Structure 1
Amino acid sequence: MESETDMEKLAAILPPKVTNHFKHLNMSDVVEITLDMGRLPEIRHAGGRIDCVGNIPILWRDLSFVCEKFPQLKNESFCEVPETLHRIKTAKDSQGKIIGISCSVGRFVTDSIDCISDVATKDKNILYIGRKKSGKTTKLRETAILLSTQMNKNVVVVDPYRDILGESDALHPVLKNVKRVTGNEGDFKKDLMLEAREIYNPDVIIVDEITTRQEIQVIKTLVADGVKVVASVLGTNLESLMKNPILFDMIGGIKTVTFSENEEKEENVLRADRPEFTRIHQPIFDTVIEILSVNMFSIYEDTVEAVDSILQRCPIDPDVRKAGPVNFFDERYKDSNFDVNSKKDVRVKSMKAIIQESFFHGASWMGQNFIA
């Protein structure tokens, strides 16, 4: 329901010569629609396929059809379709005239963290580690929805570039319980985190891609104040983060261990058998989740144990999980005495159910009519 409604909003701002072909194409996996002056409209799919629709090239009046709906494109190079995650980007010539428009199709991905929802809902600080384009921002968005809607937490997202919750000030209905702090150009993420604490007194603060020592120090302050922090960082795995001299402070810090010859002789232990490094202090984040792919994760629920085992050259095996199709509700929740934390594979209400409810209750807010 949610994807179809968002696609209708995107279709409403595109010229008819493009949208007339939508009904003949599979639009469920479309990632981008490109309108370049003098070329046929292109519809790009997730698998790499490109559909060139129609036989009439894009003319100036087609570009004007879109630009008239977004006056800010005269001065800005991009904007967002309100109440969606769709983004409009423009290409301009040397005189500043728009000669091309690219529409990036954004969707709320559902159920991709249902397999780790039992971990995400615990009262622990969580760090997502992943490569670029691995889905870190999407996982943070889903975590925000899960904690605010299912766990009734006061969740604030630090979103300086509006990447997590979208460009529009009117948030998507599924984000109705999530608050956001954004900034102007030049604002630092560390300052926005402190601002979020002062303004909203949150239970949870969510922040994307920690990169500096100053941001880590602010997170330490938030954790000391009792605020749960869910963050992401760029990396391949936990071991790569341990080798990062700027960011390893989040998982306890690493220092070199030195031994004198007398110490080795007294204990009769070879240097090769001794650990060369040791953890300095308690990690800021209690749990580390490596994003292996869009729907596969490696989970270290105890960061202390995971880091120490790597330093002692006997790394523990992570809990590897893969997301799959789930029901709206887990049958085990019919038993009110069931302990959520007693089993690793337990799931709270699925993301799909949360989004379905949000659209049902938010129908009047969106000005849409839904039929059950």
Structure 2
Amino acid sequence: MQDRSTASTPHSADGTALTGASADELGALLAYVPDRLRRLIDANRLDALVEIVVDLGRPVQLRFPGDYVLLPHVATVEDLEYVVQRAGAFRADSRTGIDGTLHRLSAIRNRYRDLVGVTMRVGRHLPGAAWPLRPWLERGDSLLILGAPGTGKTTLLRDATHILATVLRRRVVVVDTSNEIGGGGNVPHPAIGTARRLQVPDRAEQYRLLLEAVQNHTPEVIVIDEIGTRQEAEAAATIAERGVQLLATADGRTLANLVRNAALNLLLGGIGTVPLTESMALLRGVVGAAAGRHTVRERLQPPPFTVVAELLNDDLRTIVLYPDAALAVDALLDGERAEAVCLSARLTPEFIRQSLAAQQAEADRAVLADASPAPAPDSSPHTDSNTGGGDADAATAQD
């Protein structure tokens, strides 16, 4: 396994203004928290905050990467009502968002459908997180992102969307399962750049919207969050057959998990069992006890996703990238080690702090620029001259 980890300072890949979970956006989330709880939250740790968990009759919990803090306050019905009054109705999938942000609120209900808990998840855009993936995105590879919950799959997907739409200037359409990619409200969050978005009113209809996006909006790239059913996998395969680049996340921690998932391994070309004849055993080099088997599992067709990325839950959020998904799947089915390279998504508290600091600095510069008076016109006499023109042209031509 090769190591291609990066350690560059986080930046805006295209030089445009940085956007993300700024102090204003975090403030928007905290506005959904009752005052008595807000006063207990340590402002110095907000940059690493992952979730606020409010469960009836239990201490309110702040979750951080690999850790949590219990606040000295037991959640009450009034606390939950405070959240609901501001959030409004939850959708059929028990989720809702906050307009203009990437935050997500998810409800827990009892058997009588009464609200007994809320998970308030912080959504962040971290410019540069997907930059290590640019070579494969630029080449037109379809990329599938896997990983355990909370490892940053959607964060990585969102920044990859921004790179494709704004940096590489592709026609990108996002099919936004739970408004996690483009945020709450009708206007998509600036994090996805110039990408367009289709919201999914009912998860059961997502596969239909995937096909609608291709038929109606002439995309070069389709972005999908949370491929989780056989129908959605079939829709993705159909889109790939039409020559559209795919970018998606799916249920599964690792490539091996997805290979064993009968409902979703179609994303890898589908896995089937075929008879193992003597001639096939010789051709495949099967010897010894394995040659006595009557069947063998193999990939049935080219995978819709040509590249697979596993996002690990380690300190650096390492990306294990399989640059040739077909070869990797075949190797796993043959009991061999799949070739991969290691990258770093840098989705760490330190990276988040640096990214947010860069965003704040960019915002401060924009405010100062708006407040600065325009320079007075030069009224001194002058003559036309080409002096320095060559240097100016050279400077203009620099990349």
Q: TM-score, normalised by structure 1?
A: 0.71
**1:126-185: CA deviations, max 9, x gaps?**
222333443333322222122112111121111233233333323322234122212333
Pair 1:182–1:18, CA change in 2 (3 A): same
* Contact preservation (8 Å) 1:115, 1:324: no
Q: Which is further off, 95-104 or 187-196?
A: 95-104
Aligned to 1:296: 318
Alignment partner of 1:256 out of 267, 274, 280:
274
Pair 1:163–1:270, CA change in 2 (3 A): same
Amino acid at match of 1:218: A
Pair 1:371–1:221, CA change in 2 (3 A): farther
Aligned to 2:332: 310
Aligned ranges for residues 1-372 of structure 1 at < 5 Å? 2-20=21-39, 25-33=44-52, 43-50=62-69, 52=71, 69-72=86-89, 79-88=96-105, 103-185=120-202, 187-254=204-271, 255-260=273-278, 270=287, 272=289, 276-293=296-313, 295-324=317-346, 356=359
* Contact preservation (8 Å) 2:152, 2:347: no
Secondary structure of 2:22's counterpart equals helix
**1:307-351: CA deviations, max 9, x gaps?**
33334444343112233499xxxxxxxxxxxxxxxxxxxxxxxx9
What is the CA distance between 1:58 and its match in structure 2? 7.7
Pair 1:257–1:134, CA change in 2 (3 A): farther
* Contact preservation (8 Å) 2:141, 2:307: yes
Pair 1:256–1:52, CA change in 2 (3 A): same
Pair 1:120–1:371, CA change in 2 (3 A): farther
* Contact preservation (8 Å) 1:127, 1:233: yes
Structure 1 stretches of 5 or more lacking a match? 327-350
* Contact preservation (8 Å) 2:143, 2:307: yes
Q: TM-score, normalised by structure 2?
A: 0.67
Structure 2 stretches of 5 or more lacking a match? 1-19, 349-353, 373-399
Pair 1:318–1:155, CA change in 2 (3 A): same
Percent identity, please: 26
| Cα RMSD after superposing both structures | 4.5
Pair 1:119–1:62, CA change in 2 (3 A): same
Amino acid at match of 2:46: M
CA distance in structure 2 between the partners assigned to 1:144 and 1:137 by the alignment = 10
Pair 1:276–1:324, CA change in 2 (3 A): same
Pair 1:284–1:173, CA change in 2 (3 A): closer
Aligned length: 338
* Contact preservation (8 Å) 2:131, 2:160: no
* Contact preservation (8 Å) 2:226, 2:249: yes
* Contact preservation (8 Å) 1:264, 1:271: no
* Contact preservation (8 Å) 1:251, 1:303: yes
Amino acid at match of 2:327: E
Amino acid at match of 1:155: V
**1:66-88: CA deviations, max 9, x gaps?**
55544547x99653221112234
